[in-house]
Structure 1
Amino acid sequence: MARALPSLVTNIRICLTLLPDTRLVARSSLKYYVRANGDKNNKEGVVPDFLIKPSGSDLSNRKDVVLDFAIKLLEKTETSAQNLPEVK
């Protein structure tokens, strides 16, 4: 019979179970999440408002293009779509 192990992370409700034959540790969530719109069936994740793709040179130069975009977005005084910074 499997025995429950104590949770290693106290602020996240995770159940760890030691499997007796293999000695592997199985993890499962103790919480059930529902989206803010009440949709329980959407398993695709959150779709971003803006898709930012760093280039190879951005990655090699360790440039944070997502942070740069967010700063430009915050600096805009108007929030209409035509006034947003262009995405590469």
Structure 2
Amino acid sequence: MKTLQRIALALVIIGGINWGLIGLFQFDLVASIFGGQDAALSRLIYTLVGVGALCCLPLLFADEDERVTVRDRKLAYSTEFAEENDPTDFNNDKDK
């Protein structure tokens, strides 16, 4: 995931938590922290959450093949001092 998409996702999560608090407890966390709903800083946070949601919109329509997961990556935990054997390599000639 690109850095912009990670930031956008974080903003959407913040907005989702805020909407959850509004729905459950009628408590607007952003407004209470930044000085009310009409305060400039609160409006800026609301705008950033909205822009973040728009940036996450392509993720909704991305194919499964385009999404990269941790298990798709081949991680190498070798050191610079010695080579390590791959435990999944069953054709290792050293065992013969």
Q: Flag whether TM exceeds 0.5 (same fold).
A: no
More strand by share: 1
More helix by share: 2
TM-score normalised by structure 2 residue count:
0.26
Report 1 or 2 for greater relative contact order, CA contacts < 8 Å, sequence distance ≥ 6: 2
TM-score normalised by structure 1 residue count:
0.28
